[in-house]
């Protein structure tokens, strides 16, 4: 099913979307739920993502965590050489949360 068909057919299930924030922080989102780290948000009742409902939805949290893990395992690393930042650049990246 194409994206247009999914949008037009409100009954169609849109596959979860995975996004990356920083180097190691990922989230997975469905049409209603978003899992970010260990926090689960019900986007239907809490679109501003203020209330973590993971404790009330253990099975869903576990399922989304497993789905995210599978997506991340299926990704392949880019081939080629990686640039190694100099000491100053590395410290700046650390300060911004992009490196450890």
pTM of the model: 0.61
Looking at the structure of the chain, the number of domains it has is 1
For the stretch 32-59, pLDDT in tens is: 999 998 999 999 999 999 999 999 999 9
The greatest distance separating any two alpha carbons of the chain, rounded to the nearest whole angstrom, comes to: 53
Is 1 a residue whose pLDDT tops 70?
no
Structural domain boundaries enclosing 44: 3-96
Q: Tell which wins on pLDDT, 82 or 58.
A: 58
In CATH, what number is assigned to the domain containing residue 86? 3.30.1120.10
pLDDT the model gives residue 52: 97
pLDDT at 84 exceeding the cut of 90: no
What pLDDT, in 10s, does the model give residues 5-31? 555 555 556 678 888 877 778 899 998
74 or 55, which is more confident?
Answer: 55
Q: What is the DSSP string of 37-64?
A: TTEEEETTT-TT-----GGG-HHHHHHH
What tokens does 93 get? 């990246």
How far lies 81's CA from each of 7, 19, 24, in Å? 40, 24, 20
């Amino acid at each position: 099913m194409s994206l247009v068909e999914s949008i037009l057919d409100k009954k169609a299930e849109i596959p979860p979307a995975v996004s990356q924030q920083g180097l190691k922080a990922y989230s997975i989102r469905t049409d209603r739920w978003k899992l970010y780290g260990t926090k689960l948000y019900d986007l239907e009742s809490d679109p501003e993502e203020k209330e973590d409902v993971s404790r009330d939805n253990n099975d869903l949290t576990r399922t989304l965590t497993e789905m995210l893990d599978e997506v991340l395992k299926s990704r392949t690393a880019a081939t080629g050489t990686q640039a190694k930042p100099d000491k100053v650049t590395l410290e700046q990246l650390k300060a911004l949360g992009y490196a450890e």
